[in-house]
Structure 1
Amino acid sequence: MGKLERHATIADVAALAGVSVGTASKALNGRGSLREETRKRVRDAARQLSFEANAGARSLHSGRTYTVGMITTDTIGRFSIPVLMGAEDALGAGEMSVFLCDGRGDPIREQYYVKTLLSRRVDGIIVTGRRTEARPPIGVGLPVPVVYAFIASADPADCSVVPDEAGGARKAIDHLLAIGRTRIAHVTGPEHHNSAQVRAAAAVERLAEEGLSLAMPPLFGGWSEMWGRQAVGLLLAGQAEFDAVFCGSDQIARGVCDALRAAGRRVPEDVALVGFDNWDVMTEGAQPPLTSIDMNLEGLGRSAAEKLLAAINGAPSPGRHAMPCHLVVRESTTVPFPPLAPAG
């Protein structure tokens, strides 16, 4: 049996024509201001390599259809699905295809998917996951552009689009200060987790700018309701005076909310409560509904896809791009006004 024929890529066309991949893409798309001599050289190279014969080439030629691979390590989809939805919005409903691959945190499985996606001649790859700390690049010298979304690449030359978690934590503290809370506790996830570290450090820093400190050192634990309930026990046992709790996740905040109510502390009258992630299952299911920090995952996915498309068209955006988070206010920080006295 003979060897499988290797399909020509845009990189092969660029190499034969003696131009960059971006220039080759523009020439085949009919975009950009290129000399006619350059366009002809690229078209001749594409014809010589039979590049026009494959679907990837046709999509580049039309400038309308993109096929993109997406590799995730987020097995439950909590973070990757909103990112994917945002990416699809940017790439254009009905005008593209996305191959979603679940790497499950296994480097061997991940590399298999990289090879598979490249064999399908995708125009680019988006890498995402459930943790925001930097990870090793999925490859070096790949023939297509790669953008990291939510998760960051450890290579500063790669394009990474990440949430500004520190900025989000500062907004949570700003909100609590604005409603008059100054004895703020912080309950968050595992101490070794990047998000827990970043959010805790930003909260401490923001309070210090106002000459304040946390009611007690940050309480690190798990990303769970159970840990939130346990943490309230620690806060009460430590006899720390606190009038607000900023939680590193909505799951923690919901557990904190339940335990405060069981201990006879009213939310928000006695203790104001802010979560992080704006996960509707948690924020709307809590009693009362939770004020939370939204990382705008769909917007982050849209931005990542836009940067990938720009890179496919020869305009990469290397470096780390932090996307702002925003505060969503609900009843857990809104003290109701007392009823008006009857007129008489």
Structure 2
Amino acid sequence: MTQSTPVSPAKPTVLDVAAAADVSVGTVSRVLNTPDAVGPDIRKRVHEAVQAIGYTPLRKRRKGPVAAEGGATHRPRGNLGVLLLGMADSLTHLPVISEALHGVELAMSEEGVNLMLANVPTADRVPLFLAKKQVDGLILKSPLLGDLRLCASQGLIEAINRVPHVWLLGKPDSGEGDMCGADFDVGTRIGVEHLHARGHRRIGYMHPRPGQTRSEGLKRALTAHIQRLGMSLQVFEKSHVGRVQWPLPAVSSPDEVMPMLERWRALPETERPTALIVGADSIAVQVYAALRQLGLRVGTDVSVLSFNHEKPLVMGLSPALTTIDIRAEAIGRRAVQQLLWRIRNKGEDIPTKILVEPRLIEGASVAVI
């Protein structure tokens, strides 16, 4: 049984249009950008979905060249691509990804460029707009578990690397180029200091997907900040299961966290962490459900702190979840700005990492002890 709250994000994205119309995100992109390439029945379904969910398409691009640094001009096609790769629907539709994509859409609209979007869950083909060189650059979103060279086709990787691009919300192993994401060092410092201030000294970190680049980064940051404050850290993870294959699904069942919670519960009370940190709200939802199955109460028997601030997922949780808001919409906006800079400065070949500082959203899941 999965505990979730089926609430749509407050700001619809092309992903929501695709789901409502029961078509691919690429089809939605074609209807909105090149409608003559799509049959009338499909166009009608997409436009009805747009009206039904209140989605606002991007305005048309502005005319004329774009000034580059140094006074030169770059004459773009006026199209930027968004490529989702390697993700199952359960992962693609997580609110944190939808919110980041909403930021991407807003920034592209403000810049007057068109968005062309494709979803390649198997990461084994090159989208038409990329093969035909119809975009000036790409925003990329993939899973953060799995090596790009092993999980995606060589043809797709080569096509991506031929154009300016920015990875959104993290970069997979062996991924090249710029990345815009959250500053998890700051986020973990905020979270650990919050736990410390509320009396917690024994902390557990729980993640069912060992090897994920974001999870490994969180562990390193947690170790540093917990040691700095004289606290102790225990890590609860699943064993590695061999080679990762895409498309990767989201963590969507209490069964995925139950073995780790049972290991935590089996510890002597004097050694058992009083607070658990999880790397994403989608995992926290399953931790709540699993603890309830064990007859334990969040905020009473154990405290829980999470990351992302995915309101549609956690608004039904009781007690309210304390989480680190990574500001996903701001990350999406900033990724577009970095992509436009990269397009105008193709001679600058040093990969750049843009990090947005998170903030604490205090609920009632962290007790004072």
TM value normalised by structure 2: 0.64
> Does the residue aligned with 1:87 lie in a helix, a strand or coil?
helix
What SS does the aligned partner of 2:360 have? strand
> Which of 69, 77, 80 in structure 2 is aligned with 1:68?
80
Deviates more, 1:262-271 or 1:306-315: 262-271
- In structure 1, C-alpha distance between the alignment counterparts of 2:178 and 2:132, rounded to whole Å: 23
Q: CA 1:141/1:297 → structure 2, altered by over 3 Å: closer, same or farther?
A: closer
Q: Distance in 1 between matches of 2:267 and 2:80?
A: 52
Secondary structure, in 3 states, of the residue corresponding to 1:147? strand
Count of aligned positions: 280
Q: CA deviation at 1:29?
A: 3.8
* Higher Cα radius of gyration: 1
Partner of 1:209: 228
Structure 2 residue identity aligned to 1:307:
Q
Is the Cα–Cα contact under 8 Å of residues 185 and 221 in structure 2 kept in the other structure?
yes
Contact persistence 1:276–1:294 (CA under 8 A): yes
The answer as to 2:183 corresponding to 1:198 is: no
C-alpha distance in 2, partners of 1:250/1:153?
Answer: 20
Q: SS in structure 1 opposite 2:336? A: helix
Pairing of 1:264-275 with structure 2 (within 5 A): 265-275=296-306
Cα pair distance change 1:159/1:133, threshold 3 Å: farther
CA–CA separation in structure 1 for the residues paired with 2:173 and 2:263:
37
1:150 to 169, 172, 191: 169
Gaps of 5+ in 2: 1-63, 150-155, 240-249
Alignment of 1:1-344 (within 5 A): 28-29=65-66, 34=71, 60=76, 66-73=78-85, 74-76=87-89, 77=92, 78=94, 79-92=96-109, 95-107=112-124, 109=125, 112-113=126-127, 116-117=129-130, 119=132, 121-131=134-144, 135=148, 138-139=157-158, 144-152=163-171, 158-214=177-233, 216-220=234-238, 223=251, 224-239=253-268, 240-261=271-292, 263=294, 265-314=296-345, 318-333=351-366
Q: Is the 8 A contact 2:166 2:179 kept in 1?
A: yes
Q: Which amino acid aligns with 1:218?
A: F
**Cα distance, 1:105–1:205 mapped onto 2, change above 3 Å:** farther
* Contact 2:165–2:339 under 8 Å retained in 1: yes
The structure-2 alpha-carbon separation of the partners of 1:141 and 1:279, relative to structure 1 and needing over 3 Å to count, comes to: closer
Shift of 1:133: 7.0
Please list the CA deviations of residues 134-184 of structure 1 after superposition, one character each: whole Å capped at 9, or x if unmatched.
Answer: 745933796642222223276797222233334323322221111111122
The one-character-per-residue Cα deviations of 1:262-300 (angstroms, maximum 9, x if unpaired) are: 555443244221122222233222221211122222211
Q: Identify which range, 139-148 or 245-254, moves more after superposition.
A: 139-148
Distance across 2 between alignment mates of 1:201 and 1:30: 41
Instruction: Give the letter for the 2:139 counterpart.
Output: I
Q: Identity of counterpart residues, as a percentage?
A: 23
Computed over aligned residues only, the root mean square deviation of the Cα atoms, in angstroms, reads 3.4
CA–CA distance in 2 between the matches of 1:156 and 1:150? 13
Residue matched to 1:53? none
Checking the alignment, whether the CA contact within 8 Å between 1:147 and 1:308 is kept in structure 2 is yes
In the other structure, the counterpart of 2:44 is: none
Q: Secondary structure at the match of 1:99?
A: strand
Does 1 or 2 have the higher relative contact order (CA < 8 Å, sep 6+)?
2
1:54 aligned partner: none
Q: Distance in 1 between matches of 2:142 and 2:176?
A: 19
Cα deviation for residue 217 of structure 1 reads 3.9
- Counterpart Cα distance in 2 of 1:133 and 1:327: 29
